[in-house]
Amino acid sequence: MGKIKKKGVSGQAKNFITRTQAVRKLQISLPDFRKLCIWKGIYPREPRNKKKASKSSTASTTFYYTKDIQYLLHEPLLQKFREQKALEKKISKALGRGDAHDAQRLERNASRPEKTGKTKYTLDHVIRERYPTFIDALRDLDDCLSMLFLFANLPSTPTVPAKMIARCERLCLEFEHYLIVSNSLRKSFLSIKGIYYQATIQGQDILWLVPYKFNQRITGDVDFRIMGTFVEFYQTLLGFVNFRLYTSIGLVYPPKFDKSRDDQGAELGAFSLEGNGVGAIEQPKQITNGDSAKPDPKLQAEIDKLMSQLNEPEKEPPTSQTLGENEEDEEEQPTDTIDKFEPAAPGGDILLQPSYSATDPSTLFSNFTFFLSRETPRQPLEFILRAFGCKRIGWDAVLGEGAYTHNELDPAITHQVVDRPPIQVVNDDDMDEDNQTAQKLKAGTRVPGRIYIQPQWVWDSVNDEELKRPDLYAPGAQLPPHLSPFVKKVRGQYDPSAPLNEQEREDEELEADSDMDEEEDVSEEDNMAVQKPKLLIGDEVDATAEGMDVAGSEEDDSSANEDADSFGGFSDAEEEEDEATSTALQRQRELEAELTGVALEEKEIDPRAKAKADARKKAAKRAKEEDEELERAKMMMSRKKRKIMEKMVYSNKKKDAEAELLRVKRRKIEKSGKAAPRD
């Protein structure tokens, strides 16, 4: 017989200690312990057997790994904390004695990071310990960036000193500069929370969230001391990461920071990067007349439009041509790239392929000159455009210093980002004439020869790694949905970008139809939809696309004419109105045609309905059989296994139900949209 083991001396009882025990062992206060935990990355654990770990005490507590706490015992910071505590005691004693002079002298020694942003200690060794390799640090950069970008946008309060904010801002801008120079930004997403960015550095995907430039609402239940502790650590971390990143691409860190420019709101422009002997990075060149060097963007756009129009019948994606002739040349050549495998039939597993982007992110916007209207968010736009190769960005003087140009009429501008509703200018021919002659730039006026787009165009182009059709993103246009680039497509989950009929179950439509039939009285239109919904959807898409293209071509023609003549005021409003009326007419005609068509087809419904009923019956039978089979199989399982399976089935069903709900909604929208489609 083995030796009787004593309880509570080994195993889980020894491996875990409660927080109170830990604090006592370290002989520090709870806030100091919290700080240490945050910096050293020590977190509570969930013991496998709570009862054993708590030595059968029933109170619910948090447990720490004993070795973690032992590791904290040797922490140099612990000594600093104790020194600080002793100093505080001295100060309070001096104040108690009424010895103000002494207290002041001691106070001078005390570090008051919440006031000065400076500490007596450094966290360098902590960084090194927590992240033994640079990759480890990159892996943990998500929270760091999100936090620092948030603090860079906070107002300064007693708990958040202005110095801390300034430092956060600097670090963030420095990091952005690296992304711009190295072209590592991959994706970005405009969400209701803020703007998500994703960069890939040394193979690590880093995703962070930047709030919109608004005053943040600060609720009372947020403890800024905790956040401050994190920020302190993250600042040190990002400093070292930046240093490493800058030196890796041959730049001097820290970059030179021009305070006066920063005060004028230059932001990114307040920094000047220098090479550390390897070579300085190129600065945006001032081009006076870019026409000779580069294909005229306006002309290019026209050609593109024409091409797209020509390609329309062949259903080629028209946007792929917008990049220019050189790309066309590339397309003709045989490539040694990996071919993309598309599933021919549904049901197969999705195999991952290395994403091969035809476009280098550094060249996406490199040929363009952008101008940001004053209502657009300058900071994210400037950053994202620069990160994707744009060298010349101008903006309204209101938006701050550092622009390529503040002049909206600069002829070099190819794209203007606008985010204001088109204002109906009084339709007066005289006015038009006046506008042509007079200096324009009134509300709703356009400079010809440049593309007006809404900000979403930039983001969608970046995410799809190709320039989107600008007409879809024209000012005032109904924008296409902005989709998250971070969602991985999983089979069985709803994918809004794919057509509905591709992803729904075989009999789902039937079921949905039956539901519809039950709940709605049979109207002619519905019958139509029931008969061939897929076909109709396809037609619909085509029709709208055509309509848009037609309108676009008209615009192009006119703008070409304008180009040929002279620069002058030109109001799109009239044309847009025309466009609207024409589409409305078209719809009217379609509706009429449908009405008549229904009358013809109504007699043919009966046999089809019967076939459908049969199919439904068959499906029901099959479902019933499957259910029976499942029941039988379940009967033979052990209870434990059955429970596991039921849990899994439950979660799967929940996901399926979510996807199904979305599909149902979409089906409904598509059906009603047929009557009143979005423009």
Partner 1 sequence: MAPTTTDRKRKAVTRDTPEISDVESDAEFGDGLLEGILSQSEDSDDGSDQDSEEDEDEEDDELGEINALDSDGIPSDGPENEAEETNGGLNKSNGTTANPLRQLASPSTLEDDDKPNYTITTDANGGERYVYEEIDPVYDSDDSDAPATTNTIGNIPLTFYDSYPHIGYDINGKKIMRPAKGEALDALLDSIDVPRGWTGLTDPATGKPLNLSQDELEILRRIQTNELPEEGYDPYPATIEYFTGIEEIMPLSAAPEPKRRFLPSKHEAKRIMKIVRAIREGRILPYKPPQEQEEEEEAIHYDIWQDEQSRPDNIMNIPAPKMAPPGYDLSYNPPPEYLPTKAEKQAWESADPEDREKEYLPTGHDSLRKVPGYEMFIKERFERSLDLYLAPRVRKNRLNIDPASLLPKLPRPEELKPFPTVCSTVFRGHEGRVRSLAIDPLGIWLATGGDDGTVRVWELLTGRQIWSAKIGDDEAVNVVRWRPGKDALILSAAAGEDIYLLVPPVTDPETEVTSRDLLDAGFSYATNATQALTANGARKEPVAKWSRPGSRLEDEGVLIKITVRTTVKVISWHRRGDFFSTVSPTAQKSAVAIHTLSKHLTQIPFRRLPGIPQTVQFHPSRPLFFVATQRTIRSYDLQKQELVKIIQPGARWISSFDIHPGGDNLIVGSYDRRLLWHDLDLSTRPYKTMRFHSKAIRAVKYHKGGFPLFADASDDGSLQIFHGKVVSDMMENATIVPVKVLKGHKVKSALGVMDVDWHPREPWLVSAGADGTCRLWM
In the range 509-528, which residues lie near partner 1 by CB under 8 A? Answer: none
Residue 612 corresponds to which amino acid? Answer: K
Q: Which of residues 13-52 bind partner 1 (CB under 8 A)?
A: 34, 37-38, 42-46
Binding mask 364-383 for partner 1 (x = CB under 8 A): -----------xxx------
Among 5, 6, 74, 217, binds partner 1 (CB under 8 A): 217
Give ∠ CA 163-128-79 in degrees, rounded to 5. 70
**Residue 227: CB minimum distance to partner 1, A:** 6
**Residue 213: CB minimum distance to partner 1, A:** 8
Backbone φ, ψ for residue 480 (5° rounding): -65, 155
Applying CB under 8 A, which part among 147-155, 407-415, 423-431, 563-571 lies near partner 1?
Answer: 147-155
Q: Which of residues 168-197 bind partner 1 (CB under 8 A)?
A: 189-194, 196
CA distance 509 to 55: 58
100 binds partner 1 (CB under 8 A): no
CA distance 361 to 462: 8
Applying CB under 8 A, which part among 357-365, 388-396, 567-575, 662-670 lies near partner 1?
Answer: 662-670
Beta pairing, strands 194-201 & 369-372: unpaired
420 binds partner 1 (CB under 8 A): yes
Q: Which of residues 256-285 bind partner 1 (CB under 8 A)?
A: none
3-state secondary structure at position 342:
coil
Nearer to partner 1, 36 or 560 (CB): 36
- In 3D space, the residue among 114, 113, 22, 115 whose CA is nearest the CA of residue 75 turns out to be 22
- In 3D space, the residue among 471, 342, 266 whose CA is nearest the CA of residue 256 turns out to be 266
Among 343, 496, 538, 597, binds partner 1 (CB under 8 A): 496
Look at the block and give the residue holding tokens 């979403």: 456
3-state secondary structure at position 643:
helix
608 binds partner 1 (CB under 8 A): no
**Residue 674: CB minimum distance to partner 1, A:** 14
Among 147, 403, 453, 512, binds partner 1 (CB under 8 A): 147
**Residue 382: CB minimum distance to partner 1, A:** 15
239 binds partner 1 (CB under 8 A): yes
Binding mask 535-574 for partner 1 (x = CB under 8 A): ----------------------------------------
Dig out the tokens for 569 from the structure: 């005021």
632 binds partner 1 (CB under 8 A): yes
Nearer to partner 1, 141 or 390 (CB): 141
Dig out the tokens for 142 from the structure: 């998500």
Dig out the tokens for 566 from the structure: 């002279």
- In 3D space, the residue among 245, 176, 165 whose CA is nearest the CA of residue 383 turns out to be 176
230 binds partner 1 (CB under 8 A): yes
452 binds partner 1 (CB under 8 A): no
The answer to whether residues 540 and 674 touch, using CB atoms and an 8 Å cutoff, is yes
656 binds partner 1 (CB under 8 A): no
H-run or E-run covering 529: helix 524-531
Among 175, 240, 383, 404, binds partner 1 (CB under 8 A): 240
Kindly tell me the burial class for residue 635, based on how many C-beta atoms sit within 10 Å of its own C-beta (0-12, 13-18, 19 or more).
Answer: exposed
The answer to whether residues 442 and 431 touch, using CB atoms and an 8 Å cutoff, is no
